[in-house]
Structure 1
Amino acid sequence: MFAQVLIVTFVFCLGLTVASVLVSRQLLSTYASEFLRHHFYYLAAFHAFAFYGLWGQILTRSLLAAIDADTAVVDRVSGILPVLGVPFLFVSWIMLLSMACSMFGKTFKPAWHSLHAVALLALLASSWLAASMLEAEPPATSLALIEAVAMVGIELFYFSVFLALVWRFRAAAGADKRRVLLTFAVLLTGAYAARSLLAGLVLVDVRLGALALLAVHASNLPPLLYLRAKADRVFAPVKAEQATKLGIEHALDHYGVTKRERQIVEKICLGKTNKQIADELFISLQTVKDHTHRIYSKIGINSRMQLVQVMNAAK
C-alpha cells in the first residue's frame, strides 16, 4: 500500500514541478527581466535537488531493499545521496541572493560567487567527513538527521540574508512595484518555512513523508502564481528593438496575418502588455489573448520572446 502511495505522490510531485517550471519559463519569455531569469534558475536548481537528493534516496532504498542488500549498506548509501544533490541546492541559494539584488535592479557582485564556491567545497568536505565518522554509528537516524538539520539551518541563513537584502534595496523601486516584490519575498520565505516545518512529519511517521514531499514540490507555486498575476504591474514585456517596419510587413504577409492581428503584433513589438493593447485598440483582454494565440499558431511559435525574435530577424 505504501508503495502505491509513493507512486501517486511521485506523479503529483512531477506535475507540480513541470507546472512551476513552465509558468516560470512563460514569464521569462514574456518579460524582459534579469530577476525572472534568476527566479527560473532558482526553481530549476531547487527541483533538481528535490528529485536527485530526496527522490533519489527513496528509489535507492527501494532498489537495494529489492535485492536484499544489507540494511547497513542501504542506510549508508541512501544517507550519502542527499549530499551529492547539495550542489543543486547550493545553486538555488545563490540564485536566491541574486534575486534579492536583481528584483530592484542591483547587481550581485562577482566576488560573492567565489565566496559561495569556497563555502560549497567546505560544505561537501564536511558532509563527507561526517559520513565517514558516523560509519560506526546507526546511520539511519544520526546521519540522516544531521544532514536534514544542517540543510534546513543553512537555508534559513540564506533566506535571512535574502530578506535583509530585499529590505535594504526596497527604496530603489516605486511604491506599486515595491509592494508586489515585498509580498513575493514574504510568500517565498513562507514557502521555505512551510516545507521545513512539514518535513518534520517524517520524524513522526515515515508514512507522512508523502505529505512532506508534496509540500517541497508545491511550496514555490503560490509565490510564482502571485508573481504571474502581478507581472504586468512590475515588469516590462520584451520588445522588438531591432525590427524594421518593412521587415515586419514582409513577415506578416508571409504568414497571412490579418489586419487586426497586425495591429496586435505591432503593439507587441513596442513592448505593450496585453492590457495596454486591449485599452489602446478598444477590445477586450480575452480578444487580445485569442488573437495572440492565432498569431502564434500561424507563425509556428509559442511565446512573445519567439515572436520578437522573428520580427527582429525579418528583412
Structure 2
Amino acid sequence: MTWWNGTAGIIDLGNPQARDWYTGNLRKLMADYGVDGFKFDTRFFDDRCATTGTLTPQDYQKLGADMTDAFDQQGAGIRTHWGSQRYGFVIRAVDADTTWDGLRTSLRRASAISANGYPFVETDMIGGSNSMPPPSREVLVRWAQAASLMPLMYASTSPVTTVDTTTGKPVAYPADTAKLYADAVRTHAKLAGYLKTQVQQAVKDGTPIMRPVYFDFPADHRFDTVDDEWMLGPALLAAPMIKAGTARDIALPSGLWFDPHTKRVELGGRTLHDYAAPLDTTPMFVRIGAPGWTDLAARL
C-alpha cells in the first residue's frame, strides 16, 4: 500500500503470529534502546487488504487499539477513529495549515473532539503541518500560546530554525521567537497540578478538560457562536490571540474573574473590548470561586 511516507506493508494484527512478531520487535526496541513509547502514525487496515478468517475491516480498529494499549502511550500517539474513547489515548486533530486559518481550525477541531469524549486532546503540531511552508513568527508564537492552555502541547516546528519542505531552503526565526515560545511552555508547566486534577476527573466521569464555554455557562447564549475562547477545566477561561493583531474582544461569563496579566478582578457578564494582547501576552482569566482557582491565581 502507499501512504504519506511512501510504499509500505501493514502487519495483519488478525494473525496471531504476525501480531506477536510485530510486538516482539517493538519490545526489543524498548529493551535495547530505552524507547519509552511509540507513535503509531498510520492505519491498521486498508481497504485493499484482505482480512483474516471471519474478521471484518471494523474489527481491525479494535485490534489496533488493543495492541497499542499494551504500550506506554504517554506522550506518544495513535492514528485511530471513533469508538476508542474508553482507551484514554491522546488524540490530536488532523494536520492543519501553517496559517491563521489553520490555527483556528485546529482549535475548533480539538474542542469538538474533546466534547465528544476524547478529553486528552492537543492541536495539530504547533505551527501546523511541515508539508507546507513554515508558519510566520506570529503564527508560531500564537499557536504555542493557544496550545499552552490545552491539556497537552504537541511541538514540531523549531522556533529557532527550520526548513521549508516545499523549497528545501532553511528558515531562521528572529532571536526572540524562541523566548516567546519557551514562555508559552512555562505557562503550560504552571498548569500541571491543575491539569492533573482535571485528568482525574475526566477518567472518573468523562468530563472534558477543554470544552466550549457554553458547557459551563449554558444560559449565556453569547457563547453559542464563540469559537475563539474555551474553558480549561472549571476555573480557567482561555482567550488566546488566534488571528493577526495585538488586541481582541473577550466575552466574560458571569461571575468574578482574575486577570493574571493585569492582576485585576473583572466583573463578568460583559465583553472586554480591545483587550491589549501584544505578542508576549496570552489572554486568560481565572474564575474566582471555582475549584482550583486559588492555586491558579497564585501560579499564573
TM-score between both structures, scaled by the size of structure 2: 0.23
- Which structure has the larger Rg? 1
Which of structures 1 and 2 has the larger relative contact order (alpha carbons within 8 angstroms, sep 6+)?
Answer: 1
